[in-house]
């Protein structure tokens, strides 16, 4: 693809990134009369140059290229390769309980967009009914939905088929410039193969930054040319409350096969799913828990030890039924902690962006919730003759690790005092700068964020459609 | 106030020494009590997450205390059975399965295996 060294971007909407955060917004404008320019930092496939841009100096529990290893700078982004085990957020995640920040939208609104976005990932819209459950229940069998990978969005030909959309690869956005009023973005610094360029943008052009959970914050942290505060970080909150998802195997179990059956409480047409249990919202509050789930998978087919044989035989005889061997795995919410953060270093990467340093450690509560939910579920199964489980404390407290779903570092909220963006993902200080991605999440729930990112992207697309109509 | 000088021992210093000795004698008794209280509180806390009185049996199985005795007996039996069958296997090494033999894998194969394992966590 030819690179056009233009000094202005003549587009109505400029979308930065091609991951699901960006593609769900672009999707709303296919074949419209608006000119859409899409800037992707990577190429069609991963290149060593693009991947070198994802390295950060990692401190805390998430190290060894943890964040960068899950950040793909090529067309389609990380969601091109995997979607993971998905589950929707629930009301309890959004309402700001236990001192956690509140989401600036309701669960009903989010559910509407979960329903709309599920088919994009090969799922039936009915999976959105998992959002609401009986919160008074101690345990809820709330499975993971295994969404398609790779996404249909990963094919650039689908974008090229739209005459109003122009895709430019290898365009790494560095930072923005603001006009004299300080309320409109009027230009973009970017680089192509390390060659740094500047482009002004049309008045009233809207910008959507969907450059990845870390990438979004990295752009807003770059020092400005002629002002003290980086453009986009007027709140001072960019980079704060970095969260991922702590993951850990909690032990093994022998369970009644009934435990593994498809849940029927939600009207879901299940395709690919994984059995999992969560604690009901009322109990989460009562026990001061974070959100977490325990999933069950077939245990490795190794011979049982004498200890395992004894336990299995004893309870099969006592309860008069066959039990199935399973492995238990916890995925949990990480508490938003301002000490967990990203910052930039003095050194620049090959694309001209200041490099990242990440600080992220698990708190005691992040780990205790895993221990508590595992004990509660083991007790529940024993009490109801549904199974017997181990609690592997070495694993929970010493071998806990996590999955890189960088969230919280450009969070949205109700007021500029406690958030970077407003309820629509617009950076508070600017009329034309929007963000989409997990970086918006004030809290993270326990599951992979892809589905929620897709839902928020479609919602942002709807918002921009109505905004552009008003401006026309 | 007395001024201390040479070998003069004041009544105050005798009282101080006495109080210190009493504290030293009492400390182990007091600290044991405090530690016991803390332990009890901790036990109560742990117990609260297992309201049915479950205990941790070998390898971390959460079981009711009344099942422990019978499980110990059964486990002992299983251990003996395993020990009894172990020499037979040793006498017949050719019976070892392919799966139990160490495999020589290339670096790429090992990487692919790791990636498969990692993908299972998505």
Q: CB–CB of A106/A137 below 8 Å? A: no
Please tell me which residue, A205 or A64, carries the higher pLDDT value. Answer: A205
Q: Nearest chain B Cα to A146, which residue?
A: B122
**Dist. CA A42–CA A23, nearest whole Å:** 15
Name the residue among B61, B70, B120 with its Cβ closest to that of A388.
B61
Does residue A188 contact residue A176 with C-beta atoms inside 8 Å? yes
Q: Which of A151, A134, A224, A156 is nearest to A186 (CA)?
A: A224
For residue B19, what are the contacts with CB-CB under 8 A and spacing of at least 6?
Answer: none
CA distance A397 to chain B (A): 14
Q: What is the pLDDT of residue B23?
A: 63
Token code pair at residue A154: 């990963």
Are A412 and A452 in contact by the 8 Å Cβ rule? The answer is no
State the nearest Cα–Cα gap between A328 and chain B, in angstroms. Answer: 12
Hey, of A308, A311, A317, which one would you mutate to test binding to chain B, going by the most B CBs within 10 A of its CB? A311
Q: How many CB pairs under 8 A join A and B?
A: 77
Rounded alpha-carbon distances, angstroms, from residue B105 to A300, B110, B111? 20, 6, 10
Inter-chain residue contact A378 with B75, CB threshold 8 Å: no
**pLDDT for residue B33:** 53
CB-nearest partner of A376 from B49, B56, B74: B49
The pLDDT score that the predictor gives to residue A6 is 55
pLDDT tens by residue, A7-21? 899 999 999 999 999
Q: Which domain holds residue A61?
A: 9-471
Assigned domain for A215 exists: yes
Q: How far does CA A142 lie from the centroid of its chain?
A: 19
Average pLDDT, chain A: 93
Helix axis angle for B11-49 and A364-383, nearest 10°, is 50
**Assigned domain for A3 exists:** no
Q: How far is B66 from chain A (nearest CA, A)?
A: 13
Look at residue A407 and tell me if it is in a domain.
Answer: yes
Contacts of B57 in chain A (CB under 8 A): 311
For residues A56-74, average pLDDT: 91
What is the spatial distance between Cα A227 and Cα A224, in angstroms, rounded to a whole number? 6
The answer, yes or no, to whether the previous bond of A150 is cis (omega within 30 of 0) is yes
Residue from the list B60, B70, B122 with its beta carbon closest to the beta carbon of A82: B122
What's the pTM? 0.85
A198 touches B: beta carbon within 8 Å: no
Residues A389 and A196: beta-carbon distance below 8 Å: no
Q: What is the pLDDT of residue B117?
A: 55
Asked whether the predicted pLDDT for residue B106 surpasses 60, the reply is: no
pLDDT band at B110 (very low <50, low <70, confident <90, very high): low
| Closest C-alpha to A293, from A246, A252, A335 | A246
pLDDT at B39 over 50: no
- CATH code of the domain containing A284: 3.50.50.60
| Residue whose C-alpha is closest to residue A273's, from A293, A288, A287, A255 | A293
Q: How many helices (H) and strands (E) does chain A have?
A: 11, 22
Taking CB atoms and an 8 Å limit, are B62 and A314 in contact across chains?
no
Question: A419 in contact with B at a CB cutoff of 8 Å?
Answer: no
Inter-chain CB proximity A247 and B122 less than 8 Å: no
Segments making up each domain of chain B, as ranges: 11-49, 52-92
CB proximity B93 to A under 8 Å: no
Query: What residues in B contact A371, CB-CB < 8 Å?
Result: 49
A214 within a domain of the structure (yes/no): yes
* Residue B3 pLDDT: 44
Q: What percent of chain A has pLDDT over 90?
A: 81
Instruction: Encode pLDDT of A379-437 as tens digits.
Output: 999 999 999 999 999 999 888 888 889 999 999 999 999 999 999 999 999 999 999 99
Contacts of residue B89 in chain A, CB cutoff 8 Å?
A: none
Flag if B58 and A307 touch (Cβ within 8 Å).
Answer: yes
What's the structural domain count of chain A? 1
A1 part of a folded domain: no
Mean pLDDT comparison of A361-365, A409-413, B46-50, B108-112, highest-scoring range: A409-413
Q: Do B59 and A307 touch (CB under 8 A)?
A: yes
A379 in B contact zone (CB under 8 Å):
yes
**Residue A2 within a domain:** no
Whole-complex ipTM? 0.82
**Cα–Cα distance measured from residue B7 to residue A7, given in angstroms and rounded to the nearest whole number:** 95
The C-alpha of B37 sits at a distance from chain A's nearest C-alpha, in angstroms, of: 22
Read off the DSSP letter of residue A74.
B
The answer to whether A219 and A211 are in contact (CB under 8 A) is yes
Is 80 exceeded by the pLDDT of residue A311?
A: yes
Across the interface, which of B62, B75, B78 has its CB nearest the CB of A382?
B62
Structure tokens at A268: 């879901």
Q: Which residues of A touch B120 (CB under 8 A)?
A: 297
Is there a contact between A251 and B71 if contact means CB atoms under 8 Å apart? no
Beta carbons of A342 and A358 less than 8 angstroms apart: yes
A279 beta partners: A139
Is there a contact between A408 and A441 (Cβ–Cβ < 8 Å)?
yes
Residue with tokens 């290339």: B106
Q: What's the rounded Cα separation, in Å, for the pair A112 and A125?
A: 10
Smallest CA-to-CA distance from A300 within B78, B117, B109 is with B117
Residue A293, pLDDT above cutoff 80: yes
């Amino acid at each position: 693809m030819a690179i056009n060294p233009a000094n202005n971007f003549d587009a109505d909407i400029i979308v930065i990134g091609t991951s699901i955060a960006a593609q769900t917004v672009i999707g709303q404008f296919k074949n419209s009369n608006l000119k859409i320019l899409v800037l992707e930092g990577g190429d069609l496939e991963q290149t060593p140059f693009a991947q070198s841009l994802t390295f950060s100096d990692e401190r805390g529990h998430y190290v060894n290229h943890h964040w960068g290893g899950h950040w793909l700078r090529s067309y389609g982004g990380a969601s091109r390769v995997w979607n993971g085990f998905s589950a929707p957020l629930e009301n309890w995640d959004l309402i700001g309980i236990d001192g956690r920040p509140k989401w600036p939208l309701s669960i009903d609104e989010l559910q509407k967009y979960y329903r709309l976005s599920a088919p994009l990932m090969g799922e039936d819209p009915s999976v959105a009914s998992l959002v609401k459950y009986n919160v008074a229940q101690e345990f809820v069998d709330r499975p993971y939905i295994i969404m398609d990978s790779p996404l249909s969005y990963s094919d650039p030909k689908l974008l090229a088929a739209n005459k109003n959309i122009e895709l430019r690869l290898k365009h790494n956005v560095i930072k923005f410039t603001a006009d004299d009023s300080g309320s409109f973005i009027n230009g973009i610094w970017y680089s192509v193969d390390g060659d740094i360029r500047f482009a002004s943008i049309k008045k009233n052009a809207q910008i959507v930054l969907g450059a990845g959970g870390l990438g979004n914050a990295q752009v807003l942290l770059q020092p400005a040319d002629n002002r003290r505060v980086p453009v986009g970080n007027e709140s001072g909150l960019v980079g704060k409350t970095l969260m991922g998802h702590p993951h850990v195997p909690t032990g093994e179990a022998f369970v009644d096969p009934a435990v593994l059956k498809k849940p029927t409480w939600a009207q879901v047409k299940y395709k690919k799913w994984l059995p999992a249990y969560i604690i009901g919202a009322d109990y989460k509050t009562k026990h001061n828990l974070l959100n977490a789930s325990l999933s069950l998978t077939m245990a490795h087919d190794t011979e049982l030890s004498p200890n395992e044989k004894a336990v299995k035989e004893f309870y099969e005889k006592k309860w008069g039924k066959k039990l199935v061997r399973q492995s238990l795995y916890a995925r949990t919410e990480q508490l938003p902690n301002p000490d967990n953060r990203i910052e930039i270093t003095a050194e620049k990467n090959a694309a001209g962006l200041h490099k990242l340093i990440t600080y992220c450690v698990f708190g005691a509560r992040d780990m205790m919730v895993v221990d508590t939910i595992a004990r509660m579920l083991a007790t529940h199964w024993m009490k109801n003759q549904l199974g017997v489980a181990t609690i592997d404390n070495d694993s929970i407290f010493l071998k806990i690790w996590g999955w890189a779903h960088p969230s919280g570092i450009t969070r949205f909220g109700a007021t500029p005092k406690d958030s970077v963006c407003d309820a629509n993902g617009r950076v508070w200080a600017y009329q034309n700068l929007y963000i989409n991605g997990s970086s918006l999440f004030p809290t993270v729930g326990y599951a992979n964020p892809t589905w929620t990112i897709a839902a928020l992207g479609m919602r942002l697309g709807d918002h921009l459609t109505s905004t552009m109509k008003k401006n026309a | 106030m007395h001024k201390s000088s040479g070998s003069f021992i004041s009544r105050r210093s005798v009282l101080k020494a006495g109080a210190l000795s009493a504290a030293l004698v009492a400390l182990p008794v007091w600290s044991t009590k405090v530690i016991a209280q803390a332990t009890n509180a901790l036990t109560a806390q742990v117990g609260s997450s297992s309201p049915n009185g479950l205990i941790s049996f070998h390898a971390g199985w959460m079981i009711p205390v009344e099942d422990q005795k019978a499980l110990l007996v059964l486990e002992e039996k299983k251990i003996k059975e395993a020990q009894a069958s172990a020499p037979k296997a040793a006498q017949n090494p050719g019976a070892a399965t392919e799966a139990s033999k160490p495999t020589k894998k290339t670096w790429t194969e090992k990487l692919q295996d790791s990636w498969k394992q990692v993908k299972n966590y998505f």
